[in-house]
Structure 1
Amino acid sequence: MPWTPLHAALGVSDSDLTFQLVAEACAQKVAESTQLDWKKELPLKAVDPVGKQAQQLELAKDLAAMANSGGGLIVYGVDEVRGSDVSTAASVVSVGPINDTITKTIRQVAGNLIYPAISGLALVELIDPSSGDRVLLAIVHDSPDTPHLIHPPKGGPASSDWFMAPWRNGPDTHWMSERQLANAYRERQEGRRQREKNMAQTWKSLSVACTQGAQDQWVLGVLQPERPHAQPRRLSIGAAWRVLTNCEPALRNRGVRGGISSIDVTRGEDMRRGLQRYYRQTPRAMNAQGRVEIHGDGTLAVGVHRTDGGFMRSGVSGSGTDVAVRDIEQVGLDLLALLRATQPLFGATGDYSLRIGVVPGTSIFRFDDHLTSDFTAWDHQRVLGYENVEGTVIASEGPRATVDSIVELIQDAVHQAGTVTPITSDSIWTDIEMNF
């Protein structure tokens, strides 16, 4: 469970997010702040259309203001005492059972009434084990897409032709000025440029570590969070081991027959420390070589290489430039397995950037030959101008959306090699549901 503004307000750093933390905040009369907001009732309780629309707009303003102010926590189910300057937590007022309809309507507001939509909104129900009282927490993460805009009320109903950007100044919500909006848009663009720079640097360092200056062809994949983990140096070797141990075998062994899995081929190797990362890598003498990296900021990186001996009896070009298409597929599936194992560790809820490609670069791609159960001949056809594939993995909309977006990028990487892949979102999702 993530560390939240509630932990910060109470001065605790190693506690899970529990009902007792909320009760302690009431006992200590913790004040509202820029990143902490107390609400007595759930946000969407009105039945009449006018009241419902007003509550939806108010919720949109609360969520957008948090996202525009570095993220924060809204706690529903806490009565407050209003002072002259600030409100403080007074007592827990149970909001009752939280069902899917309640959480769905809140997410609909975050997705449909805020522009751009807020991704990764986490809704957490906390229950007092003794009394059964319940509170609902809305965790709004620091967003890379600020400023988030809403249609503000104008004489009652929402205006459809103008937008404003709310932000929090302490416990109060204000509207951004023109200068603040300009700064927010500039920071958004600078953030995107920095993420692109980080991706390029990770790709370069992975390429150097894998090829070690040789011309051997490696299939590489990098998965980078749009919201990096704030404390990358805290990644432990034990946590890195758990990630690799918990990777789902269904995605490695059943996804692509014969594809080299960086997770599997490095299984017997020592875990080594790198710069804010841990990694495993096979010796270069092996026919199936691999490297897998777990970074402290949540980035995941893998690479595989199939030597001439890895093409069995089908023969090779002799230039060391042959690449098996099935290895491209498996790199994508390895990243999916790593992502699913890593998300609980980092509490990651946002989207990711993915890059899959071949370095240094080749025109010789080897397909499955279904007549011989081997590879097609190395001179079967040449593929000129093969490019790295890049795109966004939509992890903020749940596990199925994650699978769909990764599979689409795998398909792009394979299709430009001149063939099709048997991998589909449905087949991968079925493997996950059947085995886990």
Structure 2
Amino acid sequence: MPKLGLISLGCAKNLVDSEHMLARLRDAGWEITEDMTEADVGVVNTCGFIEAAKTEAIETILETAQNKQTGNMKGLVVTGCLVQRYADEMRAELPEIDVFCGTGSYDDIVDAANAALKGQQAAYMADMTSAALDGSRDRLTPSYTAYFKIAEGCSNTCAYCIIPKLRGRYRSREMASLLEEARALSDAGVKELIVIAQDITKYGMDLPEHKRLLPELLRELCKMDFTWIRLHYLYPDQITDELIDVIADEPKIVKYLDIPLQHVSKRILRAMHRPGDGAEFTRLIEDMRERIPGLVLRTSLIVGLPGETEDEFAELCEFLQNVGIERVGVFEYSPEEGTEAAELPDQIDDETKQNRRLIVEELQSGVLDDYNTSRHGEVMQVLCEGFDEEQGLWYGRTYADSVEVDGHVYFDAADNEPAEGEFVSVLITESLGPDLLGVRQKEA
């Protein structure tokens, strides 16, 4: 039985693609190994979103390819967004790669791996919208957490973003298929279901019903045996009263929403081809906080878009100070070839972009400190993720902490050690940077 190793880079949506590919490979008789030195074939599923991701992908490809000299590897398959974007260039400049597999060809991964095993050169580059959206998965997340991708692609035309050219138009999965998969995940013991897509709020708009089906989908998911249902990502102009009501009314939907705003200056947002402005966002956030008690928000922001003035940057900082969004990821604008923004005049120098990012991060650290302090003395439900040998403490996440992007709660369990994936009650006692410290409480 041939062995295959896979490395998945980039976002959670990419990880789900990797899980689908692994299931197909295992069903075809491949043995999956975590040790690339043992693998007969290596697969690298790449991200090609921004420059840093491209650099990481190329470094990982080259490092993995070394196993063809030092290990058992007979061939290397590279898949994902970087391939979709740069297949011709990669073919010319990276001879280490044997087989290419674009984002429309994940269904061909078994053929791709077999070709690589035989030492063949091949490329599978089907139309981006042709890949199946359903199928079994060999999950790479802990047993208690699973990503749940409800749509693929993106039909927005954000000026800075290359994703529609890498993933194709927005395609919602059929409701029946989603519910079947969700039931299987629930039956498998998944406690935290993370609903993902490039924009989950548009779910259903491309289906024959041509209406927003996310509220209906969430109500059905809440009937299943999940403890937490987490939502990533909700676009601000697509958040309806019905959706807010469902989030507020359903206890299983965690009161943590990731809403990418990107900026608040109306001129900058229009240059990005995005709707809204700071005043609209403020009203939306105030409305949601009033209707959803305990709401914690995360957003992503871009600083340094071409032409961003000091006044527009100051407007963004003022908004953050006034609104107090608890979680913020801020990114320096990356000019990506093939996007409209890369061709705009008044490109901003790297030093200015970096300084603006650091200013926002400093502002946000104060907001986060205030949030963490507000939790002192509170007993919070924590999903235990393991034991930290260095700290000598257990750790996990509250509803206000999503996977990888937020902090943790470190807690002393005394003689009452939890299991990974168990929900425990923790009295929050103090802060440690972005993290919280506490003590496990006896369950009522």
- TM-score normalised according to structure 1 size: 0.25
Which structure has the higher relative contact order (CA within 8 Å, separation 6+)?
Answer: 1
- TM-score normalised according to structure 2 size: 0.24
